[in-house]
Chains A and B, each alone.
Chain A
Amino acid sequence: MALWIERQKNVLDFTLASLARRKRKNLALLLVYTLLVFLIASVMFATFSIKKEASLLLENAPEMIVQRTVAGRQDPIPLSYLERIQGIPGVMSCEGRLWGYYYDPVAGANYTLLVPREGEPGQGTIEVGPGVSRTRLASPGDSLEFKTSTGEIIELEVKDVISTESGLVSSDLVLVSNADFRTIFGGSGELATDFVVRVANERELSTIALKIAERLPDTRIILREEILRTYDAVFNWRGGILILILSGVVLAFAIVSWDKASGLSLEERREIGILKAVGWETSDVILMKFWEGMVVSLSSFLLGVLLAYAHVFFGGAKLFAPVLKGWAVLYPEFKLVPFLDASQITALFFLTVVPYTVATIIPSWRAAIIDPDTVMKGLG
């Protein structure tokens, strides 16, 4: 065993000396390789942790939402529909939700106005999300103006600001009272934005959804499972513009590494020829090339993953932030929680380290089995 280890060390010594002779070329390769792993791992880390957090948070979302659609668009739903849903066996409760969008020309942003059924603010007061508070510089005690559907301006006093930690779900929220909501948006008191349905047995959800659709054909039903699926699809790391851009980088790197690995330079072929002539065996040459591949790819993999981790979880994914934030004024300021997926990191390892190492070994093996004399003369 000690002999085997000593042999590996000797070969590694030789490999490192050989790499050092082509220092610039190998350093450039290491840099590009690390950058590639860094970019892919950053996207993987950011999307997986946000996907995981989304699934954790939205597990508490309503089990079923019933919306009315008129001419293909969502429309307020009459409260008279409540009775027809409550009559379905298995339905525990069915309540109306009141929410809507309000465009604030001062901030140039859309707020989500919502009437909470639990802890509704008093008339004339509001609770605002951290994004609204930041954009409008509104603290408790300040007032915000809202234009009503009749064109009047009403002032609502900020009673509280929702904590910054919960910005991921509440950044653009403005919690208002039922009366103020009706004043701002108008509409009859006999209407709600949509219904929240709770059922006794979750396994009956789809049956109940079917029954609602039969009784109320002008409604559409959104199940919590669909909400979770939506977010799973949104953050699917293979989808989206980032991976599209990255695929170009991956292809460019594949061409560079293929060119480097498959076509050995005359110098490298001569080196293999000399090694064979001085007594190295084909297996020794392959071992040397294996270590060469490992030194470059393992270093790049580890460096790339570590830098990506620091970039996403310490640096707030600064490189992607401008793209991810888009044009939103009320984007939440949140820190990603490092949920890591071991299977994704393993896949990245096998997609980067293994192909490169194999691509380094094969052409060397081809050069190593040719007669050393032919290789040294540059004929092989």
Chain B
Amino acid sequence: MTRRSRLFQAYLLCLLGLFGLMWVHAALARAAAGPAIREKRELVRRLELTDLCLSTEANYTRHLSQADLHTAFQDHPLSLEHFPSGSFLNPPPHLRKTNGPMD
């Protein structure tokens, strides 16, 4: 009968082999994506773009680096920031800054 440890060794080697293949695949996929990335970089340069086109639901979430900091209440009175992308964005650094100890 095959020893359990031998089976486990084979199983572990198989997983480690796949883990190694994952890195190889990543390297090959990165190399294959080179031309597409170059094309996008060229488009960014030519059109002088400043942002990724990820959250297009509202105009103030489209260009994150250009938006003003007061996004809440933009749509109508009492309208809090409610778009899903708002949940993913960190608050600006000045709001996260902690003051020094008071005593």
Contacts and interface: CB of A to CB of B under 8 A. Distances in A.
Contact of B65 (A118, A230, A302): A230
Given A13-B5, A168-B40, A239-B90, A326 B53 contact: no
B52 A110 contact: no
A217 B1 CA distance: 84
Contacts of B89: 233-234, 239-240
Contacts of B51: 58, 169, 227
B103 interface: no
Contacts, number: 191
A173 interface: yes
A59 interface: yes
Nearest first, the 7 closest Cβ-Cβ pairs linking A and B are A326-B84, A338-B26, A16-B4, A227-B65, A60-B45, A302-B15, A101-B59
B17 to A, nearest CB: 10
Contacts of A371: none
A60 B41 CA distance: 6
Given A62-B48, A116-B46, A119-B46, A328 B57 contact: yes
Contact of A60 (B8, B44, B70, B83): B44
Contacts of A73: 68
B80 interface: no
A57 B16 CA distance: 33
Given A61-B44, A222-B65, A234-B90, 7 more contacts: A58-B50, A60-B45, A61-B49, A72-B68, A110-B57, A165-B39, A230-B65
Contacts of B49: 61, 169-170
A56 interface: yes
B3 A13 contact: yes
Interface residues of A, number: 82
10 contacts: A53-B37, A65-B50, A109-B56, A173-B47, A236-B90, A295-B8, A302-B12, A306-B19, A328-B85, A339-B26
A328 B56 contact: yes
Nearest to B47: A116
B18 interface: yes
Nearest to A337: B33
A338 B30 contact: yes
A309 B21 CA distance: 11
Contacts of B44: 57-58, 60-61, 169
A306 B22 contact: yes
Nearest to B40: A166
B36 interface: yes
B87 A241 contact: yes
A285 to B, nearest CB: 18
A330 B53 contact: yes
A326 B36 contact: no
A175 B3 contact: no
A309 B88 CA distance: 22
